[in-house]
Amino acid sequence: MSKSDARRPIVIFATLAASTALFLSACGSSSSGASTNTGASATGPAASSSADAALTALLPAKIKSAGVVNVATDASYAPIEFFAADNKTIQGLDIDLGQAIGDVLGVKFDFVNASFDTIIPSLGTRYDLSMSAFTDNVARQQQVDMVDYFSAGVNFLVQKGKNQDLTSLAALCGKHVAVEKGTVQLDQATAQSKSCTAAGNAAIDVQAYPDQNGANLALNSGRADVVLADSPVNSYAAKQSNGALEAIGTSYGAAPYGIPVPKGADYAGFAAAIKGALEKLNADGTYAEILKKWGVEAGAVSSFTINGVTS
């Protein structure tokens, strides 16, 4: 997603009934905001022999004393973050990378499932951090600091053999387009609809769903013609669909994912600590190994920045 406000192994069957069962399973029983940790202990200070003392020293006092970082994620965005087959454990690129960052910093990263569009407003109060495929942009930087760690573009997901011409935003006039709430894809589809009508063409039927699973199900059931999402996510959905779906078009709008960190004195030093941990994980090869595990090596970045997007 390159999600703007940038998500189980998901297998999308060719029939609607099978698809419905799958996506209900994928969503799990956890309500938005319910705690769904990765199986690691979520209480007490963490003791890690791999912790970097210099980076740990940068952590805010509240994080040091708790030993736990409460991390919000929208677990419907495979392979970046999604529920495992048990419908309880959250897995994916962000989870593995977050746990590795926690090891370097000597704290536990406790991931909690949350609705994507509610996450940033809750940082600094309900959550200490988020890892959820958030696209770094200037507007977001007004609310949080973004530690950039990955890069992804956007492409198009369609039913196999259908709507093969939908490979650009301009081609979406008059089409039914499914997106997740709070994402840059929602912004793009909404803006493009206005351009369509201004040019005398039909508006886009923009369908915004609470999570990515809802958008994918709309496509599989025929309610939508196309899904707009981050290219790693659409490509993963296509691979898991038993040939029912395919990702088409050249990926566009590549932008960095950022880890949103709350601003303010209570979280001073936190972004710098995370950036330093990422640099260490890159140097020792852990970063590359995690990306390879999830098949997203193409999104690797060579340097990590804080608020790296300036326009």
Examine the pLDDT at 95 and tell me if it is beyond 50. Answer: yes
Residue 259: strand, helix, or coil: strand
Domains, the chain, ordered by start: 16-151+259-306 (3.40.190.10), 153-253 (3.40.190.10)
Q: Is the pLDDT of residue 78 over 90?
A: yes
Do the beta carbons of residue 91 and residue 8 sit within 8 Å? yes
In whole angstroms, what is the distance from residue 227 CA to residue 234 CA?
A: 8
Average pLDDT over residues 84-90: 95
| Cβ-Cβ contacts under 8 Å for 245 (sequence gap 6 or more) | 12, 157, 158, 159, 160, 216, 219, 220, 237, 238
Interstrand relation of 108-113 and 68-73 (parallel, antiparallel or unpaired): parallel
User: Taking residues 99-105, what's their average pLDDT?
Assistant: 98
pLDDT tens-digit profile of 220-247?
999 999 999 999 999 999 999 999 999 9
What is the percentage of the chain residues whose pLDDT exceeds 70? 84
Q: What is the mean pLDDT of the chain?
A: 88
**pLDDT for residue 4 is more than 50:** no
Residues 273, 54: Cα–Cα separation, whole Å: 9
Contact yes or no for 7/81 (Cβ under 8 A): yes
Closest by CA position to 257, among listed 67, 39, 73: 73
